[in-house]
Structure 1
Amino acid sequence: MKNYLSILAIAAVGSLAAFSAQAAAVKNIVVVHGALADGSGWKAATEILEKRGFNVTIVQEPISSLADDVAATQRVLDMQDGPTLLVGHSYGGMVITEAGRDDKVAGLVYVAAFQPEKGESLIKAASAIPAGKMNIRETKDGKYLYLDPSAFAADFAADLPKDQAAFLAKSQVFASKEAFSAPVGEPAWKTKKSWAIVATEDHSINPDLERQMAKRAGSEVTEIKASHAVFMSQPEKVADVIEKAAEAVGK
């Protein structure tokens, strides 16, 4: 009888160890950048996460339409070899709210991002609590929007060194009006656990709006004193939230 109980105990320990290994298996991170910037600004946060054992992939979506950007994200999700944490910054929050319904997505992290309800577009969501006057301009063809380079630092990246903010202004990704006016479908945050980072010094999305959307979604909130470019100015703190979320969805 003793031997039988010992065998059961060993088997139970082995099963628990296997379960623990499986529970900690969410190592894939897919990041969807926001409008007016590309994925290169995530370099520092990516390097931090990779040193912690995560596999990070950045979606370089075209911001030509919400459907195009969701499709670009889906292509990257299809490449992942297991459960994945989906991260979105700013407009990227619109994208992950749609793309996050994919079965591979274990959880969502909104970084100074929009967390829309069903039927909301970015323009509709942003109008709930405006951020103030942003220096948004139209391209000559009237189809795309960009941030006036002379105001980019103040509106988007006030806590970055001047040279970094200047380069972001020069390399910004223009956003189509179509992308900003498209409504989302059933939000992924209604069925997936979510986290939200509120950038308390954000001049692009009102921090109170970030708080309101996160509360509505039932997201776990972390506030970071930073500009809209929190992913660049505070990469360690952003990586901490992403790591915490990855660990939680793996349990």
Structure 2
Amino acid sequence: MMNRRHVTALALAIAAGAVATAAGPSAAEAAEVRNVVIVHGALADGSGWRRVAEILLARGLNVTVVQQPITSLADDVATTRRVLDLQQGPTLLVGHSYGGMVITEAGHHAAVVGLVYGAAFQPDRGESLAGLAGATPPAGQGIRETGDGQYLYLDPAAFHADFAADLPREETAFLARSQVFAAKAAFTATAGEPAWRGKRSWAVVATEDRSINPELERRMARRAGSAVTEIAASHAVFASQPERVAAVIEDAAREAGR
């Protein structure tokens, strides 16, 4: 039969175990992040992320690239959430340019454990892409409206300089011809409560960016408390510097799983 001292010790041990269970798994037991979902920006599609995806796949990560329609912010968030629903386990969500608007909303998904903003908009509640860009304009001024005034595109004559000056001209010429027009409504839609407020985030600042002012990228990242990596590259940093962008994503996945 246990004496009072043994009973007390046993009760304390059980209580301590209950507290540890309530607090969740230890750092050593934390789930490893093996899934990466990438949301491309406007005026391009997900194919530009192929090299980054290949690097990450070779390093053992599972990569999915969302092909959102850019018809509205709500449509693009819904498309991203459908992809997140298919992930098995914790997931790192990556967004480029306008894709940052999307992951800020879609990042509330239960599977998402961290957010990576690559030369991306990182809005707070009530902010829109148009409002952020208008307050801190980029160097590039090649955005045009379609005849009906409903969609936006980047003037092919300005595409190389404004979007991807560090890629070969023949490559940017094709990108200009195959660009995805963006609904103006997607650029003026305002963000809700940002996922970065409750989840860890990382940001790549493209220092030669002419589509988003690099100072705006820095300011948004500081506000969100994101870990920042600066890369001397154009807005298409994912295509011109795939190894460095992949390294940021791989490191973020490792850190998010701790």
User: Same fold by TM-score, threshold 0.5 exceeded?
Assistant: yes
1:176 aligns with 2:183: yes
For structure 1, which runs of at least 5 residues remain unmatched after alignment?
A: 1-17
Q: Aligned in 2, Cα 1:22/1:57: closer, same or farther, shift over 3 Å? A: farther
1:201 aligns with 2:239: no
| Percentage of matched positions with identical amino acids | 69
CA contact (8 A) 1:39 1:60 kept: yes
Instruction: Name the structure 1 match of 2:36.
Output: 29
Counterpart pick for 1:124 among 127, 131, 146? 131
Separation (CA, whole Å) in 1 of partners of 2:99 and 2:180? 13
Rg larger in structure: 2
- Give the aligned partner of residue 218 of structure 1: 225
Structure 2 unaligned runs (5+)? 1-24
Q: Deviations over 1:193-251 (max 9, x none)?
A: 00000000000000000000000000000000000000000000000000010000100
SS of the aligned residue for 1:203 comes to coil
Give the aligned partner of residue 84 of structure 2. Answer: 77
- Distance, in Å, in 1 between the alignment partners of 2:241 and 2:224 is 24
AA of the residue aligned to 1:74: R
Quick one: distance in 1 between partners of 2:100 and 2:27? 31
Aligned residues: 234
Say what the alpha-carbon RMSD is for the aligned residues. 1.3
> Is structure 2 residue 53 aligned with structure 1 residue 38?
no
Partner of 2:18: none
Residue of structure 2 in register with 1:7 after alignment: none
What SS does the corresponding residue of 2:36 show, helix, strand or coil? strand
**Structure-2 residue corresponding to 1:185:** 192
Write the letter of the residue equivalent to 1:75: R
- How far, CA to CA, are the matches of 2:197 and 2:134 in structure 1? 22
Kindly state the Cα deviation for residue 146 of structure 1 after the two structures are TM-superposed.
0.2
In the alignment, which of 164, 167, 173 is matched to residue 160 of structure 1? 167
Q: Give the equivalent residue in structure 2 for 1:146.
A: 153
**Paired residue secondary structure (2:32):** coil
Describe the superposition over 1:67-114 as per-residue Cα deviations: whole angstroms up to 9, x where unpaired: 000000001000101110000000000000000011110000000000
Q: Distance in 2 between matches of 1:226 and 1:179?
A: 26
SS in structure 1 at match of 2:120? coil
Cα distance in structure 1, aligned partners of 2:171 and 2:108:
35
User: Any conservation in 1 of the 2:140–2:211 contact (CA below 8 Å)?
Assistant: no
Contact map agreement 1:24 1:247 (CA 8 A) in 2: no
CA contact (8 A) 1:27 1:55 kept: yes
| Shift, 1:136, TM fit | 1.0
**1:69 is aligned with what amino acid?**
D
1:132, distance to aligned residue in structure 2 (A): 2.9
Q: Stretches of 4+ moved more than 4 A in 1?
A: 18-22
Question: What TM-score results when the alignment is normalised by the length of structure 1?
Answer: 0.91
Matches within 5 A, 1:52-91: 52-91=59-98
